[in-house]
């Protein structure tokens, strides 16, 4: 039958002209978007973070008001800024869809370097470490974009190399310089807040957001995303590594000594803080005030735990924060993606004239001249070509024998 033809198209025919929701772009869409993100989910979540931050401020004030004033407040601000810089580093790499898992070991290695070289001057010690961190981030970014491999795997290999450098020390290293960041805690907090908020506002612009998150895959993860995506991802690794270096130097100068460690617990805590702030673990999407509020809330919780005499591991805090942050990522992806676009259903295709629309067999063509035409008659002949044949009208031999 006609509908058993194996070569027939299997596309369904629309039965109505009702609007059809278009929510996902095709895999070849370079922008991976069909419209602007819905920012309401970030507003709601950051409002909840603000309430949580206020509750922790109340708990800390009730337990020990000295933490929130004077020298105690300056110590708290330095700790929050250091954690915030690590969260910024993780959030920036997450926004480019190529997370940098080497930020924790980089922070510890930078702290060790600063402790050993700080007697030469703040600018020289930090400047040299900044150059090395930028070069390392550049090499890591080139490894990711040239080979087009997952960022987490490449950065984990980079973290292993940094840990080898850390393991060259077997005992805590005392800071040789006399720089005390608590004296400029206010300036440090203002600088960190400005970078976090204005950077997030700039990244919230539609064209900038799509450019920063262009490395995020839309179909096959191994498919290259273009030169612009490669350049932005490489810059993301450079800046995230430099931010992690600054965080490590700040922690070292505040504590006065650095203990050699892998630093992966800092990585877990930083990535957890970034996703808890509203940055999607898939890349591209993020809020505005989330990093600032999350870093402050975690710092307040650690201070509160210390006043209560609790022994809290960074692994435990980082694991809990990361688990909750993954739930936030699911909410951001579900309610932050562009609103569905509605368009009218396409008209049905015209019927195929060769087979009657596809449901009947084609009518056979006539063979030869049918019905037959009368033979051509000579103009001098008077014989009717359709008259009786000669053997029907002439004399027949058997008629003479009968006579």
Taking the C-alpha atoms of residue 313 and residue 268, their distance in angstroms, rounded to an integer, is 12
Specify the pLDDT at position 62. 94
Provide the β-strand partners of residue 173: 258
pLDDT at 374: 58
Q: For residue 343, what are the β-bridge partners?
A: 20
Cα angle 151, 153, 155 (rounded to 5 degrees) comes to 65
Provide the sign of the torsion angle of the four alpha carbons 91, 273, 262, 249, taken in this order: positive
Of residues 290, 298, 297, the one with CA closest to residue 332: 290
Angular region, 244: left φ>0, alpha ψ -120 to 50, beta rest: alpha
Which is nearest to 130 in space by CA: 268, 250, 6?
250
Contact criterion met (CB below 8 Å) for 317 and 233: no
What is the pLDDT, as a whole number, of residue 279? 93
Q: What is the pTM of this model?
A: 0.76
What pLDDT score was predicted for residue 15?
A: 44
pLDDT tens for each residue of the chain, 403 residues long: 444 444 444 444 444 444 444 334 443 344 445 566 777 888 999 999 999 999 999 999 999 999 999 999 999 999 999 999 999 999 999 999 899 999 999 999 999 999 999 888 888 889 999 999 999 999 999 999 999 999 999 999 999 999 999 999 888 999 988 888 998 999 999 999 999 999 989 888 888 888 888 888 877 888 888 889 899 999 999 999 999 999 999 999 998 889 999 999 999 999 999 999 999 999 888 889 999 999 999 999 999 999 998 989 999 999 999 999 999 999 998 887 776 655 545 666 665 555 555 555 556 665 555 555 655 555 555 555 555 555 555 566 555 555 5
Q: Is 306 exposed, middle or buried (0-12, 13-18, 19+ CB in 10 A)?
A: middle
d(CA 284, CA 280) in angstroms, rounded, equals 7
CB atoms within 10 A of CB 132: 17
3-class secondary structure for the chain?
Answer: CHHHCCCCCCCCCCCCCCCEEECCCCCCCCCCCCCCCCCHHHHHHHHHHHHHHHHHHHHHHHHCHHHHCHHHHHHHHHHHHHHHHHHHHHHHHHHCCCCCCCHHHHHHHHHHHHHHHHHHCHHHHHHHHHHHHHHHHHHHHHHHHHHCCCHHHHHHHHHHHHHHHHCCCCCCEECCCCCCHHHHHHHHHHHHHHHHHHHHHHHHCHHHHHHHCCCCCCCCCCCCCCHHHHHHHHHHHHHHHHHHHHHHHHHHHHHCEECCCCCHHHHHHHHHHHHHCCCCCCCCCCCCCHHHHHHHHHHHHHHHHHHCCCCCCHHHHHHHHHHHHHHHHHHHHHHHCCCCEEECCCCCCCCCCCCHHHCCCCCCCCCCCCCCCCCCCCCCCCCCCCCCCHHHHCCCHHHHHHC
Tokens of 264: 């992966």
pLDDT at 5: 44
Structure token digits, residue 321: 């924060």
């Amino acid at each position: 039958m006609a509908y058993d033809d194996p070569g027939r198209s299997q596309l369904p025919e629309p039965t109505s002209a009702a609007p059809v929701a278009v929510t996902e772009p095709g895999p070849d869409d370079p922008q991976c978007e069909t419209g602007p993100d819905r920012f309401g989910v970030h507003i709601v979540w950051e409002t909840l973070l603000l309430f949580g931050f206020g509750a922790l401020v109340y708990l800390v004030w009730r337990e020990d008001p000295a933490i929130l004033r004077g020298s105690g407040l300056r110590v708290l601000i330095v700790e929050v800024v250091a954690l915030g810089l690590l969260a910024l580093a993780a959030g920036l790499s997450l926004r480019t869809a190529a997370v940098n898992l080497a930020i924790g070991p980089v922070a510890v290695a930078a702290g060790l370097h600063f402790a050993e070289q700080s007697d030469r001057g703040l600018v020289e010690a930090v400047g040299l470490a900044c150059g090395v961190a930028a070069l390392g981030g550049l090499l890591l970014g080139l490894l990711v974009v040239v080979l087009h491999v997952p960022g987490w795997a490449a950065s984990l290999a980079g973290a292993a190399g940094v840990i080898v450098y850390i393991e060259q020390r077997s005992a805590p290293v005392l800071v040789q310089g006399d720089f005390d960041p608590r004296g400029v805690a206010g300036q440090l907090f203002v600088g960190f807040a400005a970078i976090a908020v204005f950077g997030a506002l700039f990244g919230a612009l539609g064209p900038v957001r799509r450019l920063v998150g262009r490395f995020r895959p839309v179909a096959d993860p191994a498919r290259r995303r273009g030169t612009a995506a490669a350049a932005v991802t490489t810059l993301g690794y450079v800046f995230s590594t430099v931010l992690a270096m600054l965080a490590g130097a700040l922690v070292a100068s505040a504590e006065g000594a650095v203990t050699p460690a892998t630093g992966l617990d800092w990585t877990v805590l930083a990535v957890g803080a970034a996703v808890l702030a509203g940055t999607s673990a898939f890349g591209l999407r993020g809020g505005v005030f989330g990093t600032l509020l999350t870093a402050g809330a975690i710092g307040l919780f650690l201070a509160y735990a210390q006043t209560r005499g609790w022994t809290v591991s960074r692994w435990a805090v980082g694991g809990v924060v990361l688990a909750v942050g993954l739930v936030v990522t699911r909410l951001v992806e579900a309610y932050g993606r562009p609103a569905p676009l509605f368009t009218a259903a396409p008209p049905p295709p015209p019927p195929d004239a060769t087979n009657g629309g596809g449901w009947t067999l084609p009518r056979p063509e006539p063979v030869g001249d049918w019905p037959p035409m009368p033979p051509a008659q000579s103009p001098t002949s008077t014989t009717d070509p359709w008259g009786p044949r000669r053997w029907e009208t002439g004399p027949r031999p058997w008629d003479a024998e009968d006579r």
